[in-house]
Structure 1
């Protein structure tokens, strides 16, 4: 199952906890030099959470209005725990920049 870097971060943060508050997931952008605006940050995290819920990896808790859900907390499902264990077993990608190939002139 393909997951984005943000989705992997969300799943790893929720692993080992019963319920996780969604405000913790904003820490993903705290490490970056140029983070998105607060409005964009909320939208991106919400979409990632909704996609994880649609895939069956998480369950959302919150309030429901006539039109939409307001997700306050999330928890991993058994499938989500299995996927997280698989992610933890994978080798992480190091933040090296790819070296350019030298130009050889004859």
Structure 2
């Protein structure tokens, strides 16, 4: 992040395996910090349960195809399905599970 962003205000979220660390910058300095007990493990678990996939497959799909940016079919070209070790799901369903979390 740039010094200008820190000056006008920005939130940095570091999503780890077990926690998400948050830092809020305002007027060039850290204004607030927080640690949330929700992170990558919980996201992978939700993807696995929501899409009916084994945990290790959901983890690989999250790493390879995961995005929290909504995908609009009319604006962005994507493959219709993604697969890992014989397990296939639609790109839209995968993205929706990540977005919901």
**What TM-score results when the alignment is normalised by the length of structure 1?**
0.27
- Structure with greater helix share of residues: 1
Please tell me whether Structure 1 or Structure 2 has the larger radius of gyration of its CA atoms: 1
Which structure has the higher relative contact order (CA within 8 Å, separation 6+)?
1
- Structure with greater strand share of residues: 2
